[in-house]
Structure 1
């Protein structure tokens, strides 16, 4: 390869020395086709690599991660749910309770200590709240409560 043809291949100069002037293909041989032009073999020009924007990265990675986290939390709640009461009615047991009317100045703590002095008052208060579907451990005078006896 001569220095002239190497220069031509590198910078695209024609044999006459000008840019863009083309000579017949036979005079250049295989090196005559300009770079990036499609050859007869069906080659495609190179594409730029895929670049994701910040929003694209969030959509591509963030949305599936959020959905996966929601699925895991849902399954975790389902698997940690309290067990059902029993398989049949014969296995059910009734909690013995007494009905107590709240007096002025009386609290759940005092009622728990009166009804079940042998048990921890915190457990009895929790049972009273659960049995009566109370939102909080506050009661009003005159309110009737079901209190567990055992």
Structure 2
């Protein structure tokens, strides 16, 4: 019995064509879903666990270390800071008022009672 070597003759050798990966529309959708589901889960865990810092009152002041000021029409946090602490930089006072009251922004409404740190004696 004789053996024939196919690699010796280039016309007889079988060539494996190099193929590229092609994704169909459905394949792209599946890949996008597989990527987005873990990202959505991670984002929801972050959102749901971020409220713990506000609820725990870790950075809050002990009771009795602040006084209250009622917001008058036209008042802003800046004007209140200048009134209660005229010799101090208003930016620092506004920052302390925002943190003490856990305000989401600098917006306050007339008639609202906000806490002022006790170190700034209200001059009103």
- Structure scoring higher RCO (CA < 8 A, sep ≥ 6) equals 2
Q: So what's the TM-score if we normalise by structure 1? A: 0.43
Q: Rg larger in 1 or in 2?
A: 1
